[in-house]
Amino acid sequence: MSLVVRAESLLTPFSEIHQPQVTIDNRTITAIASRGALDEPHHADHLDFPGAMLAPAYLDIHTHGAAGHDVMDADDASFDAIGAFLAARGVGAYLPTTVTAPTDRILRSLEAIAGQIERAESNPQACAGAHPLGIHLEGPFLSHSKRGVHPPDNLCELSTDLLDRFWQAARGRIALLTMAPELPGSLEFIQAATQRGIRISLGHSNADTADALAAIAAGATSATHTFNAMRVLDHRDPGLLGVVLDDRKLYAELICDGIHVDPLLVRLFQRAKGPDHGILITDSISATGMPDGTYRLGNMNVQVANGRCMYQGSLAGSVLTMDRAVRNFAQFTQSHWSSAVRYATSNPARMMGLSHAYGELAAGRPANLVVLSQEGNILATMLDGRVIYRA
């Protein structure tokens, strides 16, 4: 039987439809139109959300965990809990993100996370929450001087052999890799990674302008948590950050919690990246959604108080959620919801090559969507045409 979802407005997110009626058959959107412009299917079920906005389900391409669980533990219970928590914050799919750790520990985690991705793929209808789609490998190929909290003893030189060991352990499930492009051998490394279909994101880096430009020419497509763990902008020596802000085709992540980046620079970021190349991420850790206290991030114990995650005097991830990131972005930039929603949906989907399934509401696409209040709070999340969360 068809399902018809109705609301006040719909963000495709490239255009806005008033009084939308979304028809869903067998997990797929079969029609979107304003009410009255479309005949209603006979014998349809109805879901009405008066006053609400419909938007594509959010994507989070950089999260280390939530709800008391770290993705590197990667057992069934932790992924079920993380998936359910993320879905309640509007996230339909995410990239579980590793941190620098001893090589054996990373290898074990990659193997276990790959198992969780395969579990979700083999039976999506049994998935009670957001889907893990692929792995974001953050570290160990980072700069010592911009490592943030990544443990210095476990940072590695660029090595295609080590990349291959990671790739084998992950059974080819590495989708995104953060690296510092100033490390020796970066161009060969970027080519080896992109040949495997891995997207390269530049970050935790002290790269100068030439190294940053060369990495982009070699195939890097994005920048990791722009401003954070990056060489500071010098107007005579722009470096990686200058390149990220100047290059309109390079995608760039932003942690929009009001702590990692000042709202003034969020506005500058939006002007620099335009509507199509900014990506909101959470960089959330296991403490997200939990009371203040001590929480794990990989092998580190992070102190969390008043929305700040600290380890040895440095910020160590966040307790940000995607719904809040979208609300913050709309508020800081005084933008229409569609601008903020694009940063959480179509932009990460396009960067990752996932637009066939995520990031846009259109006929023929899977029914992966969120229902938002006028304040941007999550009223419901729907994946493959099923309501998996309702406030």
Q: Is 104 a catalytic residue?
A: no
The span from the CA of 280 to the CA of 215, in Å, is 22
Minimum distance, C-beta of residue 147 to Zn ion, in the bound complex (Å): 12
Q: Where does residue 20 fall: left (phi above 0), alpha (psi -120 to 50 degrees), or beta otherwise?
A: beta
What's the count of helices (H) and strands (E) in the chain, helices before strands? Answer: 10, 23
Minimum distance, C-beta of residue 224 to Zn ion, in the bound complex (Å): 7
Which residue among 283, 292, 323, 384 is the active-site one? 283
DSSP SS3 for 26:
coil
Minimum distance, C-beta of residue 64 to Zn ion, in the bound complex (Å): 6
**Chain positions contacting Zn ion, by CB under 5 A:** 138, 283
Cβ atoms of 250 and 278 closer than 8 Å:
no
Contacts for 81 with CB less than 8 Å, ≥ 6 apart: 66, 67, 68, 69
Taking CB positions, which residue lies at the least distance from Zn ion? Answer: 283
C-beta of 6 vs 260, nearer to Zn ion: 260
C-beta of 211 vs 283, nearer to Zn ion: 283
C-beta of 56 vs 278, nearer to Zn ion: 278
Minimum distance, C-beta of residue 71 to Zn ion, in the bound complex (Å): 11
C-beta of 283 vs 323, nearer to Zn ion: 283
The span from the CA of 177 to the CA of 195, in Å, is 13
Strands (E), 89-169: 91-98, 131-132, 135-138
Sign of the four-CA dihedral 232, 199, 309, 303 = negative
Give the residue numbers annotated as catalytic, written as ranges.
283
